[in-house]
Chain A
Amino acid sequence: AQSVTQPDIHITVSEGASLELRCNYSYGATPYLFWYVQSPGQGLQLLLKYFSGDTLVQGIKGFEAEFKRSQSSFNLRKPSVHWSDAAEYFCAVALNQAGTALIFGKGTTLSVSS
């Protein structure tokens, strides 16, 4: 069965420091992978997605993610974190290319310290 693991429940990063959030997936075929962000009390917003092609994908708000098939990973990175990036981040794998029918990880909460 498809699954997504986010090993870090909570991460604290200093403002201006770099960020990497880890995501590992289990999926039999070529995965469709996503990162979503949820700010407190808000809905979910798509940061970026990977379907095929270039394994380094760029997203909104300066985020990027790298797909590594050999490691079954899709880690999210940002070179310099801003206080407004504090939120909960979810990695997900899709059961269909439309991107709904998503299997989510349990999420990583990002805190940003000044």
Chain B
Amino acid sequence: NAGVTQTPKFQVLKTGQSMTLQCAQDMNHEYMSWYRQDPGMGLRLIHYSVGAGITDQGEVPNGYNVSRSTTEDFPLRLLSAAPSQTSVYFCASSYFTGQAFFGQGTRLTVV
């Protein structure tokens, strides 16, 4: 049972480039979400989904897009990377239990 898998683990982008951070879960969870973690800021909610085809914005959605075409996958797209998007990104999933399962994170550097 892999849980929540994020790829890649590390990525360096140039300013203006686009990319997709992948998140997949094999627990058949309806709920998924994306966070970014910056020093001294805790984790901040970017986007979340309550099921396939349904997404909503979190605290810091600007510059990011998401879609949820399947229950298993919830990719996060950076449209035009900026240095301010340098961060560690975490994906999480949950069933209706109140416990979120987090991936191991993607460390993104934008230069």
Evaluate contact between B59 and A103: CB separation under 8 angstroms. Answer: yes
Evaluate contact between A44 and B90: CB separation under 8 angstroms. Answer: yes
Q: List the B side residues contacting A94 at CB < 8 Å.
A: 98
Evaluate contact between B43 and A46: CB separation under 8 angstroms. Answer: no
Evaluate contact between A106 and B42: CB separation under 8 angstroms. Answer: yes
Known: A43-B105, A106-B40. A98 touches B97 (CB 8 A): yes
**Interface size bracket, B side:** 20 to 34
Does residue A74 face the partner (Cβ distance < 8 Å to B)? no
Known: A90-B42, A104-B44. A97 touches B98 (CB 8 A): yes
Q: List the B side residues contacting A101 at CB < 8 Å.
A: 31, 33, 45, 48, 56, 58
- Complex: how many Å from CA A101 to CA B56? 9
- Complex: how many Å from CA A95 to CA B45? 10
- Complex: how many Å from CA A9 to CA B40? 8
Evaluate contact between B31 and A96: CB separation under 8 angstroms. Answer: yes
Q: List the A side residues contacting B31 at CB < 8 Å.
A: 96, 98-101
Residue of A98, A99, A107 with highest tally of chain B CB at under 10 A: A98
- Complex: how many Å from CA A102 to CA B94? 11
The residues in A between 50 and 91 inclusive whose CB is less than 8 angstroms from any CB of B are: 51, 90
Does residue A25 face the partner (Cβ distance < 8 Å to B)? no
Evaluate contact between B98 and A99: CB separation under 8 angstroms. Answer: yes
Does residue A27 face the partner (Cβ distance < 8 Å to B)? no
Does residue B86 face the partner (Cβ distance < 8 Å to A)? no
Evaluate contact between A44 and B45: CB separation under 8 angstroms. Answer: no
Interface residues of chain A, those whose CB is within 8 Å of chain B, are 6, 9, 32, 34, 43-44, 46, 49, 51, 90, 94-107
Interface residues of chain B, those whose CB is within 8 Å of chain A, are 30-33, 35, 40-45, 48, 50, 56, 58-59, 90, 92-100, 102-105
Give me the 9 closest cross-chain CB pairs, A-B, nearest first.
Answer: A99-B98, A98-B31, A106-B42, A101-B48, A100-B33, A104-B42, A100-B31, A100-B94, A98-B94
Known: A103-B45, A106-B40. 14 other contacts (CB 8 A): A34-B100, A43-B103, A44-B43, A44-B90, A44-B100, A46-B99, A51-B98, A94-B98, A98-B31, A98-B98, A98-B100, A101-B58, A102-B92, A104-B42
